[in-house]
Amino acid sequence: MYEQNVRQNTSVDAVRQKYGFGLSWLVLMVALPPLVYYLWICVTYYQGELVFPSDAAAWLQFWSHVSAPTWQAAGLYGVWFLAQAALQVWAPGPTVQGMELPDGSRLDYRMNGIFSFLFTLGVVAGLVALDWLDATVLYDQLGPLLSVVNIFTFAFAGFLYFWGLKGAAWEQPTGRPFYDYFMGTALNPRIGSLDLKLFCEARPGMIFWMLMNLSMAAKQYELHGIVTAPMLLVVGFQSIYLIDYFIHEEAVLTTWDIKHEKFGWMLCWGDLVWLPFTYTLQAQYLVNHTHELPAWGVAAIVSLNLAGYAIFRGANIQKHRFRRNPAQPVWGRAAEYIQTARGSLLLTSGWWGLSRHMNYFGDLMIALSWCLPAAFGSPLPYFHIVYFTILLLHRERRDDAMCMAKYGEDWLRYRARVPWRIVPGLY
């Protein structure tokens, strides 16, 4: 059975390479870090305008705004990262088993995210109340922090590359060093009980995102004497999203990233740089844009967010529970599914009978609700919904190709049963 699993995993890994990023992985690794700097410079120094300098001198002036790393930023982030790692290892929380690996084993995971999240907020609030920490420090140090975290992430990805070379037989790298650096060499790299992928997936990036948003709100109040309704909506929506994530943290164990993606530069940089520094763009923009919204606009945005949340969370929990216990009812009825030749079950009822990725549909609705409070004075706050749509469309295509290679005729039956990819009746 182990040898069969290894052969199957090797086949899927080959498909992952073929239908992954092609040669675009190198473009992404070279282009994305400057893009994050570009967005930050536009929102910080150009009032959110998308700047396209007309000549070399103007470009040099534009890029002169890039902040060098500072010891203050490095110390701040170093303490932050190590403190979150310590909470991941030692904070109280239940231990659960992950999904079955190709060799038949399962890994144990400590699910203490909600404790770590609330404990961190309490400590930071206490430090601010005692005047030992400035509430606006993350906004004030955003440029140096961006440089520090970029440098750290490139170095950390190098560590992950070499650490993964001694991994199990079924997760051997491709032998192309730069591609393996980008995609990763190990599925679940661990230092003792610290699972590096699960840790970076949530703790240092997602909680940092929350604290950055709060720092933006504090900065708006410091500069203008008010925290506007749009800022409250953005911070509130994203805070609820993060709290919900940690309450249902166990569900992450059945997601694409944890189950399929090796942990290399792509996920590492995405978790530690892309997520906190681009997901806060709306709050960054609103620091110096203090417009208000009509009551009907607030109501419409809140309704969009709640509807998206209901679909996103409902679909994810539904599939997670089905994978744990296929006998559990779905919407009050026995679950409907396709039994594959491999033994896997493909859920075809509930949310998953409406489209093959209803969770993506809900996630896109949530993403749009984060952008709309910024109104329409600049396209920059809408970067998130544009990028996120591209990401999810690409991920859905990768998933479809991998499942076709994995399940064959059974996947064709599943496609026929659930024809819509993401949006029922549209796509």
Q: Is the pLDDT of residue 296 over 70?
A: yes
pLDDT score for 398? 85
pLDDT digits (tens, 9 = 90+) for 185-200: 999 999 999 999 999 9
Buried b (16+ CB within 10 A) or exposed e, 282-309: bbbbbbebbeebeeebbeebeebbeebb
pLDDT score for 344? 87
| pLDDT category of residue 317 using cuts at 50, 70 and 90 | confident
pLDDT digits (tens, 9 = 90+) for 337-394: 999 998 889 999 999 999 999 999 999 999 999 999 999 999 999 999 999 999 899 8
pLDDT score for 22? 59
Across the chain, mean pLDDT equals: 91
Q: What is the mean predicted confidence (pLDDT) over 138-164?
A: 96
pLDDT score for 102? 79
CA distances from 307 to 232, 361, 387 (A): 19, 10, 21
| pLDDT category of residue 294 using cuts at 50, 70 and 90 | very high
* Cα–Cα dist 353/414, whole Å: 10
pLDDT score for 125? 97
Give the three-state DSSP class for 238.
helix
Supply φ then ψ for residue 341, to 5 degrees: -65, -25
* Cα–Cα dist 18/5, whole Å: 20
pLDDT digits (tens, 9 = 90+) for 406-422: 899 999 999 999 999 99
Residue 98 parent element (H or E) = none
Our separate counts of H helices and E strands in the chain read: 19, 6
